[in-house]
Amino acid sequence: MFNANAPKQRLTGEPPMPRSLGRSSFIAIAAVLQFACGTPTSESTSAPRDGQGASTSGQATTQRGSRSDRPAGTAGTTAADPIPSRCGDERDVLLHAYDTQGIPIDLDCADFTKSRGTRSLTFEAIFRVTTQPWALLRDPLLAPSDKWYGLDLLIEAYGAPRVVNSSYRDPVRNKRAGGARRSRHSFGDAADLDNATKSLEEWQRMWTAAEKASADYIEPLSGPCKLNCLHADWRNHDGGYRP
């Protein structure tokens, strides 16, 4: 039975929670909710588990640990906090923000994109450029529908075009907006799909489509989106950032 208040955790294999929830269930749900758009959570469960995402760790750590005399930018920083120059563009600011905010992710310049999309969505349709032009979009989000997961399959399962309200949120923008330090949006495997009618019916249809698209986490109605959008992410699927 569909339950709009039940967060989805595919890895546990548990069905949606029953409508009558005990105190322990409530605490469990509250803990799960911390993983989506909400508050910071533990590294072991929120960090990407894909091998590719961490494949550049040694190189990235070494390079980011060495500081350059030439700051690459000033957004989100102060004069006392020079930004190491690695990519020579806005990506240096982003990489620096991940470091300074202690977000557990290993990235390289090539992990960011200005153009990747899916078969049904262009880059611009997925990523609403705001503070800077680069996005981090993990393969599980962009997977072709014949992989049986991802955004394209969700839209295919829904059966009509969907507007992506938000996908990648860089740490600079995320912090400025007061977002969670480890939001899946900053890891690039989450999307908030617009609920055009703001109706429960449309939201439930998207929820069902997200489940068919094997989303690892589908935010319940009590999450930040409420009825305005549906958050789904593929945090536990393998896959890095490069095609």
Among 6, 32, 33, 37, binds Zn ion (CB under 5 A): 37
Handedness of CA 208, 210, 213, 218 (dihedral sign): negative
- Which of residues 56 and 174 has its CB atom nearest to Zn ion in the complex? 174
Q: Which amino acid would we find at residue 228? A: N
Question: What is the per-residue binding string for Zn ion in 40-79, x denoting contact by CB under 5 A?
Answer: ----------------------------------------
- Which of residues 86 and 185 has its CB atom nearest to Zn ion in the complex? 185
- Alpha helix stretches (DSSP H) within 90-214: 90-100, 123-126, 139-142, 151-158, 171-176, 184-187, 200-212
Q: Which amino acid would we find at residue 86? A: R
Q: Which stretch of DSSP H or E encloses residue 193?
A: strand 190-194
Q: Which residue's beta carbon is nearest to the bound Zn ion?
A: 231
Phi, psi of 194 (to 5 degrees): -65, 135
Q: Which of 11-19, 32-40, 63-71, 72-80 is the region at the interface with Zn ion (rule: CB under 5 A)? A: 32-40
∠ CA 61-62-67, nearest 5°, is 105
User: Cβ distance 213 to 151 under 8 Å?
Assistant: yes
Q: Least distance to Zn ion from the beta carbon of 12, Å?
A: 20
151 binds Zn ion (CB under 5 A): no
Residue corresponding to tokens 């009825």: 227
Among 111, 170, 189, 192, binds Zn ion (CB under 5 A): 192
Q: Least distance to Zn ion from the beta carbon of 35, Å?
A: 11
Question: What is the per-residue binding string for Zn ion in 77-116, x denoting contact by CB under 5 A?
Answer: ----------------------------------------
Query: Quick one: which of 200, 202, 194, 204 has its CA closest to 228?
Result: 194
Q: Least distance to Zn ion from the beta carbon of 40, Å?
A: 15
Structure tokens at 202: 């449309």
Distance CA 227, CA 198 (A): 5
Question: What is the per-residue binding string for Zn ion in 202-231, x denoting contact by CB under 5 A?
Answer: -----------------------------x
By CB under 5 A, name the binding residues for Zn ion: 37, 192, 231
